[in-house]
Amino acid sequence: MTILWDRDPAALERYSFAIGARTLRVDSAAALSRAVTTQADEDVVVIGPDIELEAACGLVEGLRIDHATLGVILLRRRLDVSVMGQALRSGMREVIAADDLPALAEAVRRSRELTVRMRGMATGTGTPAGKIVTVFSAKGGVGKTTFATNLGAYLASVGHRTLVVDLDLEFGDVGIALQLMPQSSITGLVTMSGHLDEQGLASVVTSHTSGLDAVCAPAEPGEAERIPPATVAELLRVAKHTYEFVVIDTPPALTEHVLTAFDVSDALVLIATLDIPALKNLRLTLDTLDLLGSPREARHIVLNRSDAKVGLRAEDVVTSIKQEIAVMVPSSHDVPASINRGVPIVLDEPRHPVSVALRALADEHLRGVQPEVSPPGSRRLLSWGGRR
């Protein structure tokens, strides 16, 4: 069903050719909000050319929260670049000339098809939704990028369609860690905000030889300011229905973009090291996640360089954070060497203790695969060296 927001009573007849006979006309923002809430089969909203742009954009921004699959099309008497940019940033899918009925009909068709796909994925009648995994630490230099790229490469190597997203928008190193030469970055998604689809996402993806796909950070730190959190939310929503796993690398800070990732993550890999600043930041991160309502069972604590002789023990970490450690990994010089070669160690040296640790984390905590039973008297070696 289509909802038309237009104050002119004759508008319904004027646009019926393009938007269909099953259309409800409303003449105010309040009436539109009520209609969207009460009409179970609404899928497209068309906003007439005489509705003020600010009012239209404000309403659509609100609708995106509770009605993410709803498509909104804006009609204007004159197409202006600034108007189109503002409309698309607010969440509208398309802006069409009011007198171009064939273009309006095509836009309604495209929007309806996208809504059907999105709802099918959300309800399980389409492609199953993937899992979003955010790798985070509030302290730099603990190995986030190495974890994210190696986890992504391993998941891709065992047959899962996987995407790694670099949300360290100022100083991201995913491209360098994988020796990629990206032709585009996450910045390319800004102009698609509000109508991003699988093709749009594919246009900014760079593929690794392992089969892992990557959305890299901007080449220049100043470009980070151009990327609104809403664009990140839309990226992750589309990626979740395109990939089986989406692994997110992050900066060492609780930015708006990181909080956006937290909101939609199915699993959080939280990394710490045996030093007081790292543990303090981990404790604060856990407290923040509690305030955000993040489920504790989705958090997986990784203790990096656990063999460091600095006066703290793993037991002290557990006592401090009141949560068990999923994986403990001591230092290894082989990991920074693999980073310098641009080859994930999980692929380059699959028998290395680091690779064993990565597989344990991915299989047991992310994929839900039961570990193999070790022979009596043997023990699993977990070794790790990270960066950042």
pLDDT for 226-267, tens place per residue?
898 888 988 998 999 889 999 999 999 999 999 989 988 999
For position 197, what pLDDT does the model report?
85
Mean pLDDT of the 266-288 span: 87
DSSP character for 244? S
d(CA 306, CA 303): 6
Claim: this prediction has a pTM higher than 0.85: no
Instruction: Give the separation between CA 186 and CA 204, rounded to whole angstroms.
Output: 7
Give the CA-trace dihedral at 229, 234, 235, 241, to 10 degrees: 150
Q: How many CA atoms lie within 13 A of 154 on its CB side?
A: 24
CA dist 312 and 121 (Å) reads 47
Tens-place pLDDT, residues 93-146: 899 999 999 889 888 888 877 777 676 555 444 456 789 999 999 888 888 999
Residue 183 per-residue DSSP state: S
Look up residue 278 and give its DSSP letter.
H
Segment 316-371, tens digit of pLDDT: 777 777 778 878 766 778 888 888 888 898 888 888 888 888 889 999 999 887 65
Asked if residues 262 and 298 have their Cβ atoms less than 8 Å apart, the reply is: no
b/e per residue 87-107 (b: at least 16 CB within 10 A): bbbbbbbbbbebeebeebbeb
Which band of pLDDT confidence, cut at 50, 70 and 90, is reported for residue 219?
confident
Query: Residue 373: pLDDT above 70?
Result: no
Q: Helix (H) and strand (E) counts for the chain?
A: 15, 13
Question: Quick check: 380 pLDDT over 50?
Answer: no
Lowest mean pLDDT among 71-80, 181-190, 343-352, 371-380: 371-380
Which domains, ranges and CATH numbers included, belong to the chain? 2-123 (3.40.50.2300), 131-367 (3.40.50.300)
Q: Span 268-296, mean pLDDT?
A: 85
Distances (CA, A) of 240 to 92, 122, 173, 232, 235: 21, 10, 22, 12, 9
Query: Are 331 and 273 contacting, i.e. CB atoms less than 8 angstroms apart?
Result: no
Crossing angle of helices 144-157 and 353-360, in 10° steps, is: 80
Which is it for strands 206-207 and 213-215: parallel, antiparallel or unpaired?
Answer: antiparallel
Reported as half-sphere exposure (CB side, CA atoms, 13 A), residue 73 has a value of 28
**CB atoms inside a 10 Å sphere around CB 69:** 16
Q: Are the C-beta atoms of residues 301 and 323 closer than 8 Å to each other?
A: yes
Mean pLDDT of the chain: 84
Q: What is the pLDDT of residue 191?
A: 87
Q: What pLDDT sits at residue 212?
A: 93
Percent of the chain exceeding pLDDT 90 equals 34
pLDDT of the residue at 312? 67
Can you give the C-alpha Rg of the chain in angstroms? 24
